Structures are given as C-alpha cells and as structure tokens.
C-alpha cells in the first residue's frame, strides 16, 4: 500500500533543474515550438544529462532507503515543459534510477499553483520568476543557481545550505 503524500516531506523541483534541458530550450527559442516537439520526439529514448539539482534530489530520496517502511520523503516534478518533454524526463528518471512518480507538465504555465496539490514543503527551480511567484503566494521556494554538476554517486551525505538574504536570518555575516 502506498504511503500517503500527506504524511511525507515533499519537495517539488522543476524538470529543468533536475535535468540539463539547455539544448532543448535552445531549440525552442531559436526554432520554435514545432521544432522543439520534433526534437523531443527524436530524442525520446536519449536520457537527459543530470541538472544542477540532480545530486541534491538523489541524496534527498536516499532518506527512504534508511526508513523503507515509512518512505518519509518524496520528490515531485512541477514543470513548464510539454507532455512530450515529460515522457523524455520520465525516461531519464528511470535511466538514472530516481524514485520519482508524480509530476505536472504545464505547457508553459507557471507551476507554483500546484505546490499545495502535491503537499510540497519546498519548491526548487532555476527559473527565478517562478520562485518569486511561489514566494509571493506564500510558498517556500528557492532558486537553484547554475553551477557545474558534480554527482559522486558514492557520496550519499545530504548537505543543505540556505542563503536567506537577511529576510529570515540576520545578514551581518554577508556584510562582513
């Protein structure tokens, strides 16, 4: 029997933060929607490379291995991408061995409205506009900054660092 999502710590993540969709995005911006759909269909079986949030998500999901009876955490995808991209994303999820089964692919719409539907406690995205909208509506959200993706699969330690910009915590250390 599945563990109800209401009883889990859920993090929502944008598909473009979980996987590197920069090539697909470039096709969309330079050649348009029709070419983008053809590109995704042509590459449906080609797994996407790991994105900037991938190492965090993999380690976060590993908490369930420590508590297999409860499986206390879950990751859901909230994505502006199309359903065809969703097929490729789920193929990539399976290829990389992630236990993610829930998602919403919103065809260009902002995903913040789905945060409560999935009981997400945190929304992570590389799209600063989506993060700002989520925060404006009272949801916890954070921008995942672009960086080199380093995923040492032997390293299972989950490390989290927050930069509150003086909103929640005093920014005295930043001023120094």
Length of the chain measured in residues? 176
DSSP letter at 90 equals H
**Which pair of tokens denotes residue 170?**
């005093």
Taking the C-alpha atoms of residue 59 and residue 46, their distance in angstroms, rounded to an integer, is 24
Residue 52 carries which DSSP code? Answer: T
- Residues with a catalytic annotation lie at 163
Which residues, 6 or more positions from 91, have their beta carbon under 8 angstroms from its beta carbon?
44, 45, 47
Question: How far apart are alpha carbons 72 and 94 in whole angstroms?
Answer: 20
The helices-and-strands tally (H runs, E runs) of the chain is: 8, 5
């Amino acid at each position: 029997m599945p563990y109800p999502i209401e009883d889990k710590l859920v993090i929502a993540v944008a598909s473009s933060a979980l996987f590197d969709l920069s090539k697909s995005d470039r096709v969309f911006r330079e050649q348009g929607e029709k070419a983008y759909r053809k590109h995704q269909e042509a590459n449906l079986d080609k797994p996407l490379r790991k994105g900037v949030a991938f190492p965090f998500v993999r380690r976060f999901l590993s908490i369930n291995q420590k508590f297999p009876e409860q499986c206390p955490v879950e990751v859901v995808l909230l994505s502006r991408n199309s359903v065809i991209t969703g097929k490729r994303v789920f193929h990539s999820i399976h290829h990389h061995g992630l236990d993610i089964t829930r998602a919403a692919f919103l065809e260009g719409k902002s995903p913040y409205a789905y945060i409560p539907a999935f009981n997400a406690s945190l929304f992570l995205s590389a799209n600063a506009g989506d993060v700002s909208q989520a925060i404006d509506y009272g949801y916890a959200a954070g921008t995942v900054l672009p960086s080199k993706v380093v995923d040492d699969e032997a390293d299972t330690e989950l490390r989290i660092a927050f930069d509150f910009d003086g909103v929640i915590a005093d920014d005295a250390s930043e001023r120094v």
